[in-house]
Structure 1
Amino acid sequence: MKTRRDIFQAIADPTRRAILTLIALQAMTPNALAEHFDTSRQAVSKHLQILTECELVTQKQQGREIYYQLEAEKMKEIDQWLNQFRGLWEERFDRLETLLKNLK
């Protein structure tokens, strides 16, 4: 049985993050995406397959072309996970700011 990749495995790769950034602006074909990378179209297709498995992108057929588009709703999972750390970071930055003011 094949284990399903999770969303964090998908965004761990810099090429996949770049693909997400590109298709956040507009839906693109694999060939159009491949033009942005110094890699083969097959490599880009593999990245798209992983992003599709993780439901971060969806395919839409338009004529003979397949366009990939971002599933922005799915990105909320990343935001929700990161949100648990925001309070901690803000607290530490506030303490650092206080410390720096006291040192002046």
Structure 2
Amino acid sequence: MVPRASTTSDVFNAVGDVHRRAILDVLLTGEKPVGAIVRDVSMSQPQVSRHLRVLGEVGLVRCRADGRRRLYRLAPEQLQPLHDWVAKYERAINDRLDRIEDYLEELQRQGEGSGT
């Protein structure tokens, strides 16, 4: 299998950057202009704009003009592929935890049955 190129052409790579995740977190509270995002994530305006462009290219962020301002908002439905991928691992972890719980309950029943 060929390793993935380090690009930002899909949701997985786009959210792989800590700065872009911070911008997504800021946009969870609603639509914001670039200046507010810059303030909230403590990055320069050019850095924020670059990250917003990447997030926009993969569809995670939408932009609209409001006069001279550009307002950005989260498009959470685009996170579905990431959610579906993570859900497989969540199910596997939960299955293991269920087996551990069953094993511990069995040990407890055995301990109660032996009178200790």
Gaps of 5+ in 1: none
| 92-101 or 66-75, which deviates more | 92-101
Gaps of 5+ in 2: 1-6, 109-116
Task: Give matches, 1:3-82, under 5 Å.
Answer: 5-82=9-86
TM-score normalized by structure 1? 0.85
Max Rg structure: 2
**CA deviation profile, 1:34-66 (whole Å, cap 9, x unmatched):** 001232111111110110111100111111100
Task: Give matches, 1:85-104, under 5 Å.
Answer: 85-102=89-106
Number of residues of Structure 1 aligned to a counterpart in Structure 2: 102
TM superposition shift of 1:99: 3.5
Superposed structure 1 runs of 4+ greater than 6 Å apart: none
TM-score normalized by structure 2? 0.77
Quote the sequence identity (%).
31
RMSD: 1.8
